[in-house]
Amino acid sequence: MVPRRLSMSMLFAALMLLGAAGVPVDADAQSSDDPSPHSEAALVSDVSAIAPGEPFTVALRLRMEKGWHSYWKNPGDSGEPTSVDWAVPEGFAVGDIQWPYPHRVPFGPMTSYGYSDEVVLPFTVTPPETLAPGSRVTLKGEANWLICADICLPAKADVQTTLSVAEAPRPSPEASVIAKAESKQPRSVDGWTVQAARSSGSYTLALTSPAGHEPSLKGAYFFPAQEEVLDHAAPQPVSRADDTHLITLQQSSYAEEPSDSLRGVVVAPDGETWDAAGEVRALRVNVPVDSTLSGIDVASMTAASTGGNGLSLPWALAFAFAGGLLLNLMPCVFPVISVKILGFAEQAEEEERTIRTHGTLFGVGVLVSMWVLAGILLAVRAAGSQVGWGFQLQSPTFIALMALLFFGIGLNLLGLFEVGTRLMSWGGRLQTQTSSDGRLGAFLTGVLATVVATPCTAPFMGAALGVALTLSTTGALLIFTSLGVGMAAPYVGLSMAPRLLKALPKPGAWMESLKQFFAFPMFATAIWLVWVFGQQTGNGGVALLLFGLLLLGMAGWVVHRWSASTLSQPLTVVTRGLVTLMVVGAVAAGVIGAGYDRPATASSSDSSSAASSEQWTPFSPQTVQEFRAEGRPVFVDFTAAWCLTCQVNERTVLNTDAVQSAFRKRNVALVKADWTNRDPQITKALESHGRSGVPVYVLYPGDGSGPTLLPEVLTQDIVLNALEKLPSSS
């Protein structure tokens, strides 16, 4: 042990030297002659004299070299928790390790939970009552732990401490070490409510703060004490609804079955604490997993309960909710609000409880119809899944149809044509008929509200539809639910407080203006889609798609110019037939345009000029292999036209002069893997890097060693630093 008892600074210096020289630490040599490599263990006690029958604390203090770590009670994806086998005198009782909260140790696609630098693991020891003051006792134990950096080594040490027995306990000089460790112990904090729920593949932890102390928990992290419950490497997005924070947790793919409880520790982000006094950073959690979270808003709840999409889905749901709310301001819906609510009021004869019931039933009606719509959508999608749905954006046909859809929606919002005026009046009639039917009536009114709103819903539904098609089943269902909740919210809200009705603005021309204004974002989306389409198909395709849009515009004009009420029967048939033909023609033009293959060289018009600074070679595994064989570093840019992050990275980082000249200076071969269209070779290459989508940036050093993956969001510094680290031999 003696030679290793270097001062920390010497140790540090030695390690710096090792690191600088790039000398790999030889595991075998170290483990053979040193039972506790890269770390050392000692026993500390908070008292130097113990009293009979009075519990005290001893702790295993592990000091680890920089870069090495040991493990928590749940080691995460790899590792083994530290343990101590005690040999204590007769009559002594030693409790379990009181684990301080750990930190995350990420390694490649894996995440472990452990400790670095130093950890103090306390045990409570209870001596027997019969102890004689004046004697001495020795506590011994064999500590076993795993010490890991890139590699792992088992370590063990015999530890002991000798304490005197006195009438009253006397604190030891090491008491402060243990007191400091105490502050890292997870605790329960009064006032916090913790609940847990589960939905397919994920758990949600809901933490409701007490009044008066509402820390920001963005970046909080839940360390599960159970091993087979959660995916340790999955991100844990935190969202917030009022005073409730929701942490989304991914279920482990190794879980035999879902857990019925969640145990562990939630660690607050840096600078935040769970208690007002600022002392507790780690909150102890042990809650049953329940499907219902009482007192928590359902919409925001569902927003957080699907994992997989990381942060995007909660946002999407928030926008869908806003979209639903917005629907109520549309001319087709708004005027009926007051009628409906007044209807409730009438039939209930001012009895507020009945109004509330009816309001709720109305909301349920809206939701159910939304779900029916979602069901239809999912059925359609299921039919498409056999042909490999999920790559829709790589399908120019899909892009073309989306462009037509968004353009059509824009025209509709501008008022070029009306959809479903008849539907609206039909719905209105039914509404008046059913309003006297009590509860069923209230529910049906909800269904009808959705039907009546359909003409205006269509634009929003269009956006939701496009989005939902690209999402998982759960995601799609949630989008529609959120839209429905948003739409029903004002009705339900008003039924709860009918007096608020008077405060509503009167319907009027402003609504029409608002509706028309919404046409422009739709057109903008269409422009973006046409641009993507152009990347996929080239000029000819774009011309055909634009022709399709023209036909669609004409169809709208015909409908508007010769509206059904002003025409004779035969003329109606003729014009409507014409309209149908034009719409079919528009779709056909888009689909045919999608069939235009992009010319092989169209991807980079600048590839002809060999002197161009942006010299990207198209990807193939052989190309990369050849460059590597030449001993050149290779940078592969996995990108796609429909990937905004990729475009941003290329414009703001990769194609800048600074980065380009750094590439040139180091003779880096630039390879572009364009995934805009389906390409099995690129898909396979992505998978080999453990990725399933773009952007991915891969940098191979010139010396033949393994590649480095850069983050998905690049900065110039990231790229320049990565280049800096390349071996300079080439």
DSSP string, 179-203: HHHHTTS-B--TT-EEEEEEETTEE
Contact 357, 442 (CB under 8 A): yes
Is 531 within 8 Å of 390 (Cβ atoms)?
Answer: no
Single out the segment in contact with another protein by CB under 8 A; choices: 47-55, 72-80, 281-289, 439-447: 72-80
448 or 476, CB closer to another protein? Answer: 476
Residue number with CB closer to another protein (144 or 273): 144
3-state class (DSSP) for residue 150: coil
Does 643 sit near another protein (CB under 8 A)?
Answer: yes
Q: Please tell me the distance from the alpha carbon of residue 318 to that of residue 321, in angstroms, as a whole number.
A: 5
User: Considering the rule CB under 8 A, would residue 3 count as an interface residue with another protein?
Assistant: no
Percent helix, strand, coil in the chain (nearest 5)? 45, 20, 35
CB of 705 to another protein, least distance (A): 6
> CA-to-CA distance for 662 and 666, rounded, in angstroms?
6
| Footprint on residues 443-472 left by another protein (CB under 8 A) | 460, 463, 466-467, 470-472
Choose between 79 and 427: whose C-beta lies nearer to another protein.
79
Looking at residue 66, the DSSP 8-state letter turns out to be: T
Amino acid type, 368 = V
100, 122, 215, 323: which one binds another protein (CB under 8 A):
323
The closest alpha carbon to 320, from 194, 489, 158, 164, belongs to 489
Enter the tokens of residue 304: 């957080």
DSSP string, 655-680: TSHHHHHHHHHTTPEEEEEE-SS--H
Q: Is 689 in the site for another protein (CB under 8 A)?
A: yes
Number of residues that bind another protein (CB under 8 A): 81
Q: Which residues of 276-292 are buried (b: 16+ CB within 10 A; e: fewer)?
A: eeeebbbbbbebebeee
Near another protein by CB under 8 A, which window of 285-293, 391-399, 533-541, 655-663? 391-399
Asked if 504 touches another protein (CB under 8 A), the answer is: no
Provide the Cα torsion 367, 372, 377, 382; round to 10°: 120
Spatial distance between the Cα atoms of 572 and 188, rounded to a whole number of angstroms: 73
Asked if residue 645 binds another protein (CB under 8 A), the reply is yes
Q: How far is the CB of 274 from another protein (least distance, A)?
A: 29
- Smallest separation, CB 467 to another protein (Å): 4
Q: How far is the CB of 558 from another protein (least distance, A)?
A: 28
Using DSSP's 3-state secondary structure scheme, residue 496 falls into helix
Residues 470-489 contacting another protein, CB under 8 A = 470-472
Which residues inside 21-60 make contact with another protein, applying CB under 8 A? 24, 27-28
List 48, 78, 607, 730, residue binding another protein (CB under 8 A):
78
Please choose, from the candidates 107, 97, 117, the residue with its C-alpha nearest in 3D space to the C-alpha of residue 232: 107
Q: Does 681 bind another protein (CB under 8 A)?
A: no
Interacting span for another protein (CB under 8 A) from 118-126, 254-262, 580-588, 612-620 = 254-262
How far is it, in rounded angstroms, from Cα 149 to Cα 30?
Answer: 14
The binding track of 697-726 with respect to another protein, each residue x by CB under 8 A or -, is -x-----xxxxxxxx---------------
CB of 198 to another protein, least distance (A): 18
In the range 530-589, which residues lie near another protein by CB under 8 A? none
**Of residues 193-252, those binding another protein (CB under 8 A):** 227-228, 252
Q: Binding pattern to another protein, positions 107-126, x when CB under 8 A? A: xxxx-x--------------
Q: Does 414 bind another protein (CB under 8 A)?
A: no
Q: According to the binding rule CB under 8 A, does residue 135 interact with another protein?
A: no
* Residue among 275 and 650 whose Cβ is closer to another protein: 650
Q: How far is the CB of 152 from another protein (least distance, A)?
A: 4
How far apart, in whole angstroms, are the C-alpha atoms of residue 209 and residue 191?
7
